[in-house]
Chains A and B, each alone.
Chain A
């Protein structure tokens, strides 16, 4: 038994190019696909690490909740609690872990996780911004079926000080225009070092999962975040895994950062790459270096 993904949604062209708009649209799509009403959502988590105009408070999730018109006031029957969880591209898995604990305890029945990273200026033409603007959403519920859902979620951080990518907004440097800026520094060897750490981490995790969860490594399907065009492909080749994550995913979506894992799962499902009974490893890689992995039985 475990947390199951009961629906997903992706929005590439919102009413406006903003985190709030794209995440809200993806969330609405996801809820509609599940045949539910937005008032059914108990927890709304936003995992986007960028913010429209670098707004520091309130949580982006509360502004997304407002845009979605979701339980805006307390009617004693329904309520939603919204907050942000931030952990780079691994944030989706952190949110699933937290929501999963709340579902397991029956604290909540449904959690909606939305993700979107847009340049703070809300412009879609900033060359230095390495991410694709889109919104993605994932609805989580609980299943008592022991053969379904997330069986494990793990994270590893590399032990060195090397971070690979650092992103800040700098008030002194940009003055009154800070609300429209972000400074991202990427080390020249980030891709190679991220790839090496990811392979090492997953290799160790597979040994552990094999022992604990009776997985069939030959049939395990990798669903990775696509940091670069060939990232997923290189990982699956190195580990001898079966990939459902073809390079055309990067061609279609680029790298949507915090939304990447939801998009990868959504696309895999939409194109028939995931069937009931499949064993999946959802894999996120992020600066730090940080790797997150979720073992999921479809």
Chain B
């Protein structure tokens, strides 16, 4: 028995902030100009409205998902929330009860169990891994995995605190706000559904990207040791793990219509896609991106890409896709699936 993605939704705030506008807001002058748009390929990102929170964002995404689903909230067996930024009010981060508790009540998913996952940017794909197992083991018949990220506060802190060009907070300027949600259930036929999912944590590198409240200003920060990550060959290690997962399951990159990776920056995505195929002596498989217009939307990137691709009719029933997560931890995950009737 296979599980499948049954429906999907996403939400992005209305306000657009271009990279050029953002860089003009840096409080400390740099010794030389830094063209962040050229370095990252990110033209713009969405920025939360003042009253928007991770909670309001995830609810929008969840409701959009339910619009395209055969299920009503009361039919759902489990609600899994995976946000890194868990705000229900601006600047107040919820610890107890879980965010999923509040979401399930607000949606009216009164029969559902719930829990939160925290696995940095790999949160939603981790949710898919767990829910796929729960469905195949008969623990639940269906469930919804979701995330709402109002993560641009780390960019605000970076604009205040970056005082030199090699600051560990530079990666914070690449983020954008978004919500995404998907429902999984049992596949209806052999031609659709999840073929395999696999994950690893390379904990040797767990300290290389840390997000926490700032100890200089009132805000939240993310420190990324980019040079150490580059020297450690994180993308090579990720590509190697993806190859191991594919070999174990008898696939090769050319089996896929698209390989979609976590959205960090345009160059990084292209490089990763290239590395995955190079291991087989193959040219890169086609990919899809959201990072140019939305930045790095943390846990939601892979599903924002999927949702947009469905809306633009770039993918449809029968499209075979691999999703690859890469996150602080360092967590690397891969999900191979064939699209069924899911629409956006």
Which A residues are within 8 Å of any B CB, using their own CB? 44, 49-50, 53-63, 65-66, 70-74, 76, 79-88, 91, 94, 97-98, 100-102, 104-105, 107, 155, 157, 159, 161, 163, 165-172, 174-179, 182, 184, 286-288, 290
Contacts and interface: CB of A to CB of B under 8 A. Distances in A.
A236 to B, nearest CB: 25
Interface size class of B (residues with CB under 8 A): 35 or more
7 contacts: A57-B210, A62-B331, A87-B101, A105-B137, A168-B92, A168-B94, A176-B217
Contact of A290 (B101, B200, B203, B206): B101
B206 A63 contact: yes
Contacts of A179: 212-215
A87 B98 contact: yes
Contact of B203 (A70, A102, A157, A177): A70
B328 A57 contact: yes
A76 B244 contact: yes
B104 to A, nearest CB: 7
* Chain A facing B: main interface SS: mixed
B116 A65 contact: no
Interface string B132-157: 01101101000000000000010000
Contacts of B212: 53-56, 179
B220 A56 contact: yes
Interface of B: 84-85, 91-98, 100-101, 104-105, 110, 113-122, 126, 130, 133-134, 136-137, 139, 153, 199-204, 206-207, 209-220, 222, 237, 240-241, 244, 327-331
B35 to A, nearest CB: 27
Contact of B207 (A49, A66, A170): A66
Contacts of B139: 97, 100-101
B203 A288 contact: no
B331 A178 contact: no
* Chain B facing A: main interface SS: mixed
B115 A104 contact: no
A230 B203 CA distance: 41
Contacts of B105: 157, 161
Given A86-B118, A87-B114, 12 more contacts: A53-B212, A74-B202, A88-B98, A97-B139, A101-B130, A101-B134, A159-B110, A165-B97, A170-B91, A170-B92, A177-B215, A286-B97
A65 B206 contact: yes
Contacts of B119: 58-59, 61, 83-84
Nearest to A171: B91
A82 B203 contact: yes
A91 B115 contact: yes
Contact of A65 (B203, B213, B237): B203
Contacts of B100: 87
B202 A86 contact: no
Contacts of B213: 53-54, 169, 171, 174, 176, 178-179
B165 to A, nearest CB: 24
A73 B101 contact: no
B159 to A, nearest CB: 16
A226 to B, nearest CB: 17
Given A98-B130, A98-B134, A58 B327 contact: yes
A49 B203 CA distance: 20
A190 B136 CA distance: 38
Contact of A66 (B126, B204, B219, B222): B204
B214 A176 contact: yes
Contacts of B97: 88, 163, 165-166, 286-288, 290
